[in-house]
Amino acid sequence: MFDIVTVALVGWIFMVPLLFSVLTPRRAVLVAFLFAWLFLPQGAIGLPGLPDLTKITATSFGALLGVVLFDAGRFRKYRFNWVDLPILIWCVAPMASSLSNGYGPYDGASAVLSQIAIWGVPYLIGRLYFNTLESVRELAIAIFIGGLVYVPLCLWEVRMSPQLHRMVYGYHPSAFAMTLRFGGYRPMVFMQHGLMVGLWMTSATLVGAWLWTSGSLKRIYGMPMILPVGVLFATTVLCKSVGALVLLFAGLGLLFVGRHVKTPVLLLIAVLIAPGYMALRATGTWSGQGMVRIASRLDEERARSLAGRLENEDMLARRAARKQLFGWGSWGDWRVTDAETGKDITVSDGMWIITYGKTGLLGLVSLTTALLLPVLLLAKRVKFGQWSHRLAAAPAALAVLLILFSIDNLLNAMLNPIFMLGAGALSGFYIMAPKLMAVARSRSVLKSEDYVPTGASATTGP
């Protein structure tokens, strides 16, 4: 399909290095990942032996090219640390799956390259460029601004129906019927699904609300924060994603309760929700029917949908348990088929069950650790009771986003490279924190309560 989609995805690889030529490297990678995630098409171009070209992989390739051409010294400063081990294992896990299933090293290498482009590169970029309080704050503000940019587009689609992707790129990225919710439309804009938009708007709202209430950011572009945060929250509600709204209130609740409950027990419970669910469901210890009964009191349709998800999870988990350590690989053997017709009879929604089936416990544990270890690393550097301090607000918000993303992955499989930027950022901050904490309080950029974009300066880091 040599059309605007091909031009956009291929052209973006070469556009990203141009950003490095006009912006500081840190701003360049921020703009690259955010613009790609918000505006590039949902599509994939197959490349023999290489990862499919998507908005994520195109940005990863372009970012690597930009760093090599304009900031190569950044790579020389990188030092492997034990905190990078989970993402490393996650990236190479497909090789073990391919070899153990007889697919050979070529298949494994191809899968590893895809894993690196989708997960490893965003993590590495976050690790290299967002490892100080100033840079983590800039990443958090960028997420907030990214949500604000989507406000008028979401509101337009709520009123007019999700048509922007079709108008720009010529097609709907998923079934239009899935946009109908509660007697109206659920916006999709340039993302794969309305659920993905809902989670993105939830993330931006949470970050903005926490930066504002902590005193880290009181004005943006001259406006008092109450105005953009309020508009963003209202738009998030209009996205009609119940699950995303539940995560928003849960995340804000965790942060606000943490102001008064100094013990980290509440944070540890939140971190354990996703791995606890996976362990109980993978072993068949918990059927999940209690959730279905609760859901049936609220909405029978949603309850039936949840029951169907759990039934499919049960079948896929039993299949995955047959090759528990390394999984079945990526060629579809992890799915359940009818014994007579050979037809696939399962629906896989959650990222966790897909990961478990394809890469086994090796992949599932390493991915979960890569997402949640940075949260614990932050708690080790900054006590949970201090996450409301204005200097800690940005990394605290990113940490909670990683928790919410891991929970969302239980029911959905929505890849988002911005979360991996955050994971890399918090891992890098953990490594750099001992050298930076004393200096951070004296940096003028951290004392500013307003955000007005400016050019690079000596105080804003790389």
Supply the pLDDT for residue 462: 38
- Name the one residue in this structure whose structure tokens are 């606000």: 256
Supply the pLDDT for residue 183: 75
| pLDDT tens string 275-314 | 999 999 999 999 888 888 888 887 787 788 888 889 999 9
Supply the pLDDT for residue 437: 53
Supply the pLDDT for residue 436: 58
Q: What percent of the chain has pLDDT over 70?
A: 94
User: Cα dist. 59→327, 401, 425 in Å?
Assistant: 29, 22, 18
Asked if the model's pLDDT at residue 457 lies above 90, the reply is no
CA-CA-CA-CA torsion for 450, 455, 460, 462, nearest 10 degrees? 150
Supply the pLDDT for residue 456: 34
Supply the pLDDT for residue 435: 63
**Alpha helix (H) ranges present in 161-241?**
164-169, 194-213, 226-238
Helix axes 226-238, 242-260, angle to 10 degrees: 140
- Confirm if 132 and 425 have CB atoms less than 8 A apart: no
Nearest 5°: CA angle at 342, between 99 and 311?
85
Supply the pLDDT for residue 182: 73
Asked if the model's pLDDT at residue 453 lies above 50, the reply is no
| pLDDT tens string 30-59 | 999 999 999 999 989 988 878 999 999 999
Supply the pLDDT for residue 450: 55
Asked if the model's pLDDT at residue 440 lies above 50, the reply is no
Supply the pLDDT for residue 375: 97
Backbone φ, ψ for residue 224 (5° rounding): -60, 140
Least confident of 1-10, 145-154, 328-337: 1-10
Asked if the model's pLDDT at residue 257 lies above 80, the reply is yes
- Confirm if 150 and 197 have CB atoms less than 8 A apart: yes
| pLDDT tens string 59-104 | 999 999 999 999 999 998 899 999 999 999 999 999 999 999 999 9
Regarding pTM above 0.75, the answer is yes
Q: Residue ranges of the domains in the chain? A: 1-77, 81-445
Supply the pLDDT for residue 449: 57
Q: What is the mean pLDDT of residues 350-369?
A: 97
Report the chain's mean pLDDT, rounded to a whole number: 90
Q: What is the mean pLDDT of residues 8-22?
A: 96
Supply the pLDDT for residue 459: 33
Q: How far is CA 295 from the centre of its chain?
A: 26
- Confirm if 261 and 388 have CB atoms less than 8 A apart: no
Supply the pLDDT for residue 294: 85
Least confident of 1-10, 184-193, 226-235, 316-325: 1-10
Supply the pLDDT for residue 184: 86
Q: How far is CA 314 from the centre of its chain?
A: 26
Round to whole Å and give the CA distance between 6 and 221.
35
Supply the pLDDT for residue 460: 36
Least confident of 30-39, 230-239, 328-337, 397-406: 328-337
Top pLDDT among 314 and 441 is at: 314
